[in-house]
Every structure is written in structure tokens, then in C-alpha cells.
Chains A and B, each alone.
Chain A
Amino acid sequence: MNKLIITVLAKDRPGIIAHVTQVLFALECNLENVNQMILQDQFAGFFLVESPPSLDKDSLQTSLDDQTKDTGLVIHVNDLDENNGSAMDGAGDIFLITTIGPDQKGLVARFSAIIAKYQGNIINLKAVFKGGPDPRNNVMSYQVWVTPDVDSAAMFAALRKKAAELGLDIRIQHKNIFDAINKI
């Protein structure tokens, strides 16, 4: 059995997941995990499957391409290396780094560069800039995996310094505080 990861991109519409999973079912692939998101009108989905021994990466790619022809779906199949594990294996903590303030060119690039410099791993990023007084419309939130070998104090200081330069309000808080308040 092969573990394969299938990426599907498309303009969002009803029936994308149904179409893809029906094809996978017909090919005797066992669906192990699915995750999807929609950004404005764009759909992105990840399908983790176990395929039968007779079906390798290339033949699955060919089958999916054939059976989704003219649907507008962009599909990419790749092998999943189970030995690599998750980026979040081992010791570490998740911090939420949130900035509130109006949009400026290069915000994500500037903050993510600092996080990368200190080897923090961004595991989720949401950025919304719609203007107006509502903070919900002018917010960037990074969820960052911080391992013990990351100099977190220096990274957080650099992020706070950058936010001050750009006139943004920044909050850096361990994930557990959000769990405590919101995940009851």
C-alpha cells in the first residue's frame, strides 16, 4: 500500500470534494485524512490516501487527470514520506503572534522573515486587511511553532521592534491562553 498526498486547487463551487472522492473510491483508494480551505472564491484541498499496490503516484495522477478533464480542477499527486513525520514532532510550543493595524506593503514578508531568521515555523497564517475601524478587518495572526532551540526572547523582541516601527499593535501569546478562553 502506498501513502499519497493529493492537492486539489480550483475555483470554488459545489461538488468538488464529491467529484474527487468518487474517483478515488472507484480507484480503491482509502481516504485517511482531508483538509480544505476557501480563500475568497478559491478552493484548496489536501487528500491523504492509501492506494492499492497496483496504483502508484504516476498512475493515480493520470487517472485523476483523465476523470476530471474539463472540470477546472488542478490536481497534483505526490508520495508521502511517512518517515519524515510532522514539523511539530518533538518538544515545542505554539505561540500566536497577532498584529492589529492598517495594511502596508510587505507586512507579511517583513514579519515572516523575522520568524524564519530565528527558525520559528509558521503553521498557520491569517491576514485580513479591509480597512475601517473594526480590528477584525485589519489583523494578521501567525501561529508559530517554537522549539526549545529557538531563541524565542530574541525573536519576540525583534517582532515587537518591527511592529513599533510600523505603528502596529502586536500581541504575542502562548496558544494555551486562547484554548482556556475559547475551547470550553
Chain B
Amino acid sequence: MFEDHEIISTIEMVKNEHLDVRAVTLGVNLFDCISHDLGTFRHNIRHKILTHASSLKSVCDEVGDKYGIQVVNKRISISPIALVGAAFSADQMVEIAHELNDIAKTVDIDFIGGFSALVEKGMATGDLALIAALPRALAQTDRVCASVNVATTKAGINMDAVLQMSQAIKQAAELTADEDGLACAKLCVFANIPEDMPFMAGAYLGVGVADAVINVGVSGPGVVKRAIERHLENGPMTLGNIAEVIKRTACKVTRVGELIGREVAKNLDVRFGVVDLSLAPTPTVGDSIGEIFQALGLSHIGVPGSTAALAMLNDAVKKGGAFASSHVGGLSGAFIPVSEDLNIAHAAHQGFLSMEKLEALTSVCSVGLDMVPVPGDITEETLAGIIADEMAIGMINAKTTACRIIPVPGKKAGESVYFGGLLGEAKIMAVPHMMETNAFMRYGGRIPAPIHSLKN
């Protein structure tokens, strides 16, 4: 039996505080689909994915209805195409992207992730082909997501790959210039990429994971914000108390995700993987990370104190998640995507949040420079430098960092970009010194792994 306040607060979390299951992502291993013949490979991956995913959407909807919690996005992650499609050329990789796009439409999901390569220690033939294919693959499809891991704490940073990814991002933006470089919104460059992440654009299925697995991404920035506000309305609190409130709230939200994920996995007869509790905002008011900063007493995200606040928030979310489930994975923390969070986008436009401060924040958040629109004429070297800086933060701190940067063709800092849907809109952020020559980025080679990687 439940108390009145338990019933009402649960309903409020869903109805007014935007608690939802942001993504149920079905991971499908494609290693048994490998063939040297493109036609056979395409047939094999279609058959394998459809076998597991044909009822993904209906099962998610049924489970969501049963619990009164919406499963917003149903998605698929696959084994890295650079590995399972290593035999193919760049042109053939583009054809594979079209096949994946068509499969995503067939099973009625919004994104399929795993058009990916893992190149932190060097690029093999398949990796080079995939990176060369990226601009066309992303420009010619609308549901394929790509990621390239260029650094790890154990391997260091592959600076050749960093520069190639900078070039690929610029080319992808140019090919979708009429959509403000939208292709780049489906492309992430990673350090320490998790192999079980349900969130796009970085989701792929790791090589050490089961044949098919359900990973769940739960969000809930609105729930956290309201929990903080409710407790502050009852009187003054210490930051230790506030962290406790965030932790408990994160615990509740994680339990919801695991409940839904396990039932979806059971109904699909596949293994349950992890819950990724990430405070992932949407452009909706009340579903914002930036608003949490304001609930904590900061005028805007980006003002002094923001990094400390984000560090506390990220840590409390992880602790709450870890208490709730033994299978927490993915990113599990707080995202700070600029265009996807109306409040963050406004803070950037009003000058409270600069590129430099954003980079500082990424040293304590769970992802990195995410959905950041920058001027289209940014040089390859500058863009590569931004990526390398971000990768260094991830490598040294043994955490995931990523770059999802959109150099918007033909537009300058301060101009508007609109990506639509969950990708949101923003003003283009200024990048200081972006036209300076940068020979450092042309040396190539690998930045060695840090001393603390030597643990064996």
C-alpha cells in the first residue's frame, strides 16, 4: 500500500518534471555477419538486426504504457562498422550507411549508432575507409550516428586521427550546409568511449558485449531541479544536504530505468545490460541542466562557481545511480549540450558561458563539448586543437570526453542555428584565436599515455 504523497510525487515526476526513459537502445553484435562480399554483408546485417529488433518499438511502447513512463526514443547500437566492415572501401562504407539507415526506418527507430571506429592507437584499413566515408555517409542519411574513439587513458591520443576527424567534421558540415551542418550533430569524437552507452550519437556495441543486449538511458534534470527547489523551500541547506537530495533523486530515477530496461529485455528475450543515468536535457523548459544551476543559486551556467556545482552534481548523480543498481554504465552523469538545452544556449548567447568555460566544465561533466555550434570558417587546425584539448582532459582524468562540434557553413559567431527536435537551436559560439596558424596539430603521431596508465 502506498501513502498519498508517494502516489502524488511519483505522478508529479512523470507529469510535470519530465521524468522519462530517454532511450532504450538494443545492442546487436554484427561479427557473425562479416563477409568479403558487400551484398552478402548487407543481407546479413539486415537479417540479424531485424531478427532482434522487429518488435523493439512495440515492446517499448507496451512497457512504457504499463508503467506510465514514456520511452521517448528506441534505438539500436551495433558493432563498430570499421571492424565488421573492414574489408570494404570508403564508397562501400557509404552504401553500408544507407543500408543501416533503411533498417532504422524499417524498424521505426530514430537512430542507429555504431558507424564507428576505435583508433586510439592507430588506424587500420577499415578505420581509414570509415573515416573517409563519414562525411558522405552522414550527409546522405538521417538516422545513422557515428563515433570515432581517438584516445584512451591506456593508449594516449592518436593525433593523426584527431586531424582527420577535424577534416571529416568540416567536410560533413559543408555537405549539409543547407541544414546548418546538421550531419555533424550525428558525429562524436571520443576519448575513453564506453562500450555500453545507450545515448546517441556515441552509442555502439562493444566487442566484449553479448550478442544482443538492452541498455537504458534514463534522464531527469527536471526531477532533480524540482527536488532541490522543494527542499530549499523548506529552509536553508548546506551543500552536503543538497548533494544528498540529488543522490537520492538520482537513485529513484535509476531504479525506474532498470525496471523498464529489464522488462523490455525480458520481453525481447535478450540480456539486460546497463542503466545509464545521465541528466540529459531537452530544449523544453523544465527539462534543463542549466536550470539546475539556477536552482543551486548561480545566475547562469558559466559564471564562477559553475565548475564546482557541476562537479557536485555529476558526482551525486553517479553515487545515486551506483546505490540503485549494480549495472550502471555508459556515461552516467550530467550532459551539458549547448543547443539541446535552451537554458545553456541562452547562457552562451548572453556571454555567461564561453568556449573556454565550457571546456573547463567538461573536465567534471560526464561527456564533453556537446552540440556546440562554431563559425563555419574555423580552421582545421583550430578545430583539431579543440578536439585534442578535450581528448587530453579525458585521457589524463581517466574519464570519457567527447566532441560534437558543428562548424556551421557560412555563419559567424552570434548568428542563429536551428537543428530541430531534440537537437535544438542556439547562437553560434565565438572561438577565440580560431584563425591562428597551429603547427602543433600537424606533427601527427601519438601523444603518449600518461604515467598513471601503467598499472599492470
Contact = CB atoms under 8 A, between A and B. Distances in A.
Main secondary structure on chain A at its contact with chain B? Answer: strand
Interface in A100-135: 100, 124, 126, 128, 135
A95 to B, nearest CB: 8
A163 interface: no
Contacts of B14: 171
Size class of the contact patch on chain A: 20 to 34
A180 B2 contact: no
Contacts of A180: 252, 255-256, 258-259
B8 A178 contact: no
Interface string B111-136: 00000000000000000000000000
- Which among B5, B7, B9 has the highest number of chain A CB atoms within 10 Å? B7
B68 A136 contact: no
Contact of B4 (A136, A173, A174, A176): A136
A178 B2 contact: yes
B10 A182 contact: yes
Nearest to A100: B11
A174 B67 contact: yes
Contact of B2 (A96, A171, A184): A96
A39 interface: no
A60 interface: no
A171 B8 contact: no
B292 interface: no
B6 A136 contact: no
A51 interface: no
B387 interface: no
A7 B247 CA distance: 44
A139 B66 contact: no
Nearest to B324: A184
Interface residues of B, number: 25
Contact of B1 (A124, A128, A139): A124
A176 B9 CA distance: 15
A84 B399 CA distance: 59
Given A177-B259, A181-B252, A184-B251, A139 B7 contact: yes
Interface string B1-30: 110111111111111000000000000000
B391 interface: no
Interface of A: 96, 98, 100, 124, 126, 128, 135-136, 139, 141, 143, 169, 171-174, 176-178, 180-182, 184
30 contacts: A96-B2, A98-B7, A126-B4, A128-B4, A135-B8, A135-B11, A135-B12, A136-B8, A139-B4, A139-B8, A141-B2, A141-B4, A143-B1, A171-B11, A171-B14, A173-B66, A173-B67, A173-B68, A173-B69, A174-B68, A177-B67, A177-B69, A177-B259, A178-B7, A180-B255, A180-B256, A180-B258, A181-B256, A182-B2, A184-B251
Interface of B: 1-2, 4-15, 66-69, 251-252, 255-256, 258-259, 324
Given A171-B15, A180-B256, A181-B252, 18 more contacts: A124-B1, A126-B4, A128-B4, A135-B8, A139-B7, A139-B8, A141-B2, A169-B15, A171-B68, A173-B69, A176-B67, A177-B10, A177-B69, A177-B256, A177-B259, A180-B252, A180-B255, A184-B252
